[in-house]
Structure 1
């Protein structure tokens, strides 16, 4: 299924990163008219969809014939791919022969019915990974997962079967690269869009309306966690951190999330986390089930005192860059891509256990000059490394290498 996309203009980014825009226009000259298709599992929920909603329209504006196709699949397929996702991150899971047959069958069906006649096909994550087995062309695999220590049995069973069909494999960090991709791997961090509804500067009136609608008290400190309901995000620890802090500080915890359509497990965990939180009125669950969209997430991050990220595994964690872009420090566990966004003692703190996380948050909440210093550093780092324009430049360079 092809995704309908908005029009975006690369010229609109001139005020933020002028030199990078000029470089992108020059890079794209040789690629004009090139047909590029991105393929992933869902058009809504999760970081991949958000990235593509910006990157694909900007590729078009630069002159590429770019579009985005989404898999058509039954729920049983996504139960299998969730297992693959967890296995790629190192979990022990049992995947049966019949489940693997379903995975292959759905990939074959999509290879035949999606419009994949393009110069370059970019496959995102495990769900459409087998498509190149059933379709001729030049393929790039874009992995958004922390594969630093995968479940080797399942990793090898899946990746080896189609690895030779790919010209390049893109990973957030070099430490995620495993065989059979070492010879074709590229380090490829993702990005946030500074002009999107989630990241643009909002009028005060909009901020006030949303605060009022969701009954948030901005006179008290606010800790915000933005994360899917996923076991790796360890949201119970976020609640534990809040409870430790609550003994010393009168604060609120915002848990902000979207329910990804390709993640049936998320609904079960959502109910479990709700029960764990109990009836504390200062723990706010703010999801799309309550009408939370990108503007609302923007407001929640903007009004936050400090961000918290308790994931035990994290491919990258763009929600951290989003929070940093609003000039707010973040306290997080030092895992995966978190480590390149938060520099300990520069724009936040990296800590492991719940007590350490709570202590680090307390230090920021109680030292306004430290919070301001971290906030300035936070925005500067994201501007230099993790905006859309830098990401788009990486894509154009890789596409050029594959084509020429």
Structure 2
């Protein structure tokens, strides 16, 4: 039920020194020195993050880690989540799809939609305003809470708008979405995008920060798992046959699995895409590319995403799940037997993350065939686990995957090319291992939390001292 009020998310501090075995002592010491300098500069002022959900997506996962590290480094930081009703999230999903270059549901973004959006912003502001002080640095994430930007600037806060979505170009849908959101975000003091081409021309480049996302190698979704743990977690979730072997006791919720045939044999090569149930992730395209262009008789495909009821700010999730299910049901029975659909429960976020971790580690190939992509954290997650990745050459994915070195890039509209790339990796174990080894190294160098925090520290320092 909507209350119209933002809520504060509790986050435990994380000692950045735990990154030492991965980053080395010099990088950790530099991070601690940077945090100390920023703490002195802020002099009691806080860093406040505002977004629209505490669970169920890459933004929430990153915030939990980054806020934890920031607290662990001695900086006063809080995380607020706005609340909205289904109408509000339908509008913001429409904007989200538009910023990705797509029509979404094709609905209006006119006067009535602005009025509904403004009403939710005003009600959330009642709770946010007392929690933000003049001089605080407020990072507002994505379009959903952007109605708070102008009032927070008036309050005396230093406001950064962080947009996690984008499109390498423009079309009628991006122009329409930017037309809706521009008036809300333009008052911000600075703007952050994952890629420079995502920023529209009217953004002042002097105050544009390009900050790619990052993963936390110690989070439940990315922490190291032994081979036996991987199998036990997947047995516990109901995803693998076990021949009587027990599942992992940390998994208490069985996944919702759609299949036509027996449980997956642990020895069968598995191609996996893990994504939200979002049209831009093109789950049905992955399915058709696999069954039509990957030879039968060997690997199986598993398309996995969260239970749609667990992602509050994505009203299209259930629709896409049912669309994907309907496409699966239309396949010939022999093809249906090669594909499984999985909705992973969100009742326990840690349990959900461990199952995703195990699924990515068990995969022979991880796919991310997005039609558009702000960054694609599932790519970095799989690369960190040294898995070979086949992914679309769109958006932030091209900043992660170096074609032929850390994985393979494909045209998202070329299903035959997707099938050929998957087959190439499945058929060449030596190349697959090389891709995985190089992929992990690239994530270690570019996409861990220390780099992310350095980038924000530099931007905040410029804002506060200007």
Shorter-chain TM-score range: over 0.9
- Structure 1 residue runs of 4 or more that deviate by more than 4 Å after TM superposition: none
Q: CA deviation at 1:389?
A: 1.4
Tell whether 2:49 aligns with 1:38: yes
Q: 1:356 to 1:249 in 2, by over 3 A?
A: farther
Match of 1:103 in 2: 117
Match of 1:206 in 2: 229
| Gaps in structure 2 of 5+ consecutive residues | 1-6, 241-263
Tell whether 2:241 aligns with 1:225: no
1:164-188 residue CA offsets vs partner (Å, 9 max, x unmatched): x211100001111113213321111
In the aligned structure 2, how far is the partner of 1:239 from the partner of 1:157?
34
Match of 2:375 in 1: 316
TM-score norm. by structure 1 comes to: 0.95
Match of 1:195 in 2: 218
Q: 1:290 to 1:157 in 2, by over 3 A?
A: closer
Tell whether 2:20 aligns with 1:14: yes
In the aligned structure 1, how far is the partner of 2:101 from the partner of 2:204?
19
Tell whether 2:164 aligns with 1:144: yes
Match of 1:180 in 2: 202
The correspondence for 2:446, drawn from 385, 393, 396, is: 385
SS at match of 1:398: helix
In the aligned structure 1, how far is the partner of 2:184 from the partner of 2:68?
32
The answer to whether the 8 A contact 2:294-2:419 is kept is no
Q: CA deviation at 1:329?
A: 1.2
Q: CA deviation at 1:21?
A: 1.4
In the aligned structure 2, how far is the partner of 1:302 from the partner of 1:379?
12
Q: CA deviation at 1:247?
A: 3.2
In the aligned structure 1, how far is the partner of 2:227 from the partner of 2:386?
16
Larger mean CA deviation between 234-243 and 113-122 belongs to 113-122
* Aligned ranges 1:4-403 → 2 under 5 Å: 4-18=10-24, 19-32=26-39, 33-92=44-103, 93=106, 94-114=108-128, 115-117=131-133, 119-135=136-152, 136=155, 137-148=157-168, 149=170, 151-163=174-186, 165-183=187-205, 184-213=207-236, 214-215=239-240, 216-258=264-306, 259=308, 260-278=311-329, 280-289=336-345, 293-352=352-411, 353-403=414-464
TM-score norm. by structure 2 comes to: 0.83
Over the aligned positions, Cα root-mean-square deviation in angstroms equals: 1.7
The answer to whether the 8 A contact 1:31-1:63 is kept is no
The answer to whether the 8 A contact 1:220-1:252 is kept is yes
1:160-211 residue CA offsets vs partner (Å, 9 max, x unmatched): 4541x21110000111111321332111100011011110101334212123
SS at match of 1:69: strand
Q: 1:377 to 1:97 in 2, by over 3 A?
A: same
Q: CA deviation at 1:308?
A: 0.8
SS at match of 2:21: coil
Aligned length: 403
SS at match of 1:145: coil
In the aligned structure 1, how far is the partner of 2:184 from the partner of 2:14?
37
Q: CA deviation at 1:29?
A: 1.1
In the aligned structure 1, how far is the partner of 2:54 from the partner of 2:337?
33
Q: CA deviation at 1:151?
A: 2.3
Q: CA deviation at 1:212?
A: 2.1
1:375-401 residue CA offsets vs partner (Å, 9 max, x unmatched): 111111111101111111111111111
In the aligned structure 1, how far is the partner of 2:204 from the partner of 2:179?
14
